[in-house]
Amino acid sequence: MSNNNDSHARVLPGEDIPRMEPWLAVSLLSFIPGIGLFILPASAMIPLYIAMTVLLTTGVGMFLRSEWRKKKAE
């Protein structure tokens, strides 16, 4: 039998550790108003479309900003 109890992978100092990104959470929140489109009356469509657009655009902007910061750090 092996005496190797180290079953976890080791993370090297320069490695990128997977984590929840804030931009991804904001982008996923844009689907909540989309679900409301099916439930709420037609008079709520325009505000829901605006909320979806704002959340998705904000998420994409956050993503681009984080990628630009990563490239500047390298």
Residue 63 burial (C-beta neighbours within 10 Å; 0-12, 13-18, 19+):
middle
Residue 56 lies in a domain: yes
Residue 43 lies in a domain: yes
Residue 9 lies in a domain: no
Q: How many residues in the chain?
A: 74
Nearest to 36 by CA among 27, 46, 23: 46
- The distance from CA 47 to its chain's CA centroid, rounded to whole angstroms, is 23
**Tell me, what amino acid is at 30?**
S
Total tally of structural domains belonging to the chain: 1
Which comes out higher in pLDDT, residue 14 or 60? 60
Does residue 5 register a pLDDT over 80?
no
Residue 30 lies in a domain: yes
For the segment 26-69, what is each residue's pLDDT rounded down to a tens digit?
999 999 999 999 999 999 999 999 999 999 999 999 999 988 88
Question: Which residues are CB-neighbours of 17 under 8 A, at least 6 positions away?
Answer: 11
Residue 35 lies in a domain: yes
The residue segments making up the domain with residue 34 are: 22-73
Does residue 20 register a pLDDT over 90?
no
Residue 50 lies in a domain: yes
Q: Tell me, what's the pLDDT at 57?
A: 96
pTM metric for this prediction: 0.70
Residue 37 lies in a domain: yes
Residue 8 lies in a domain: no
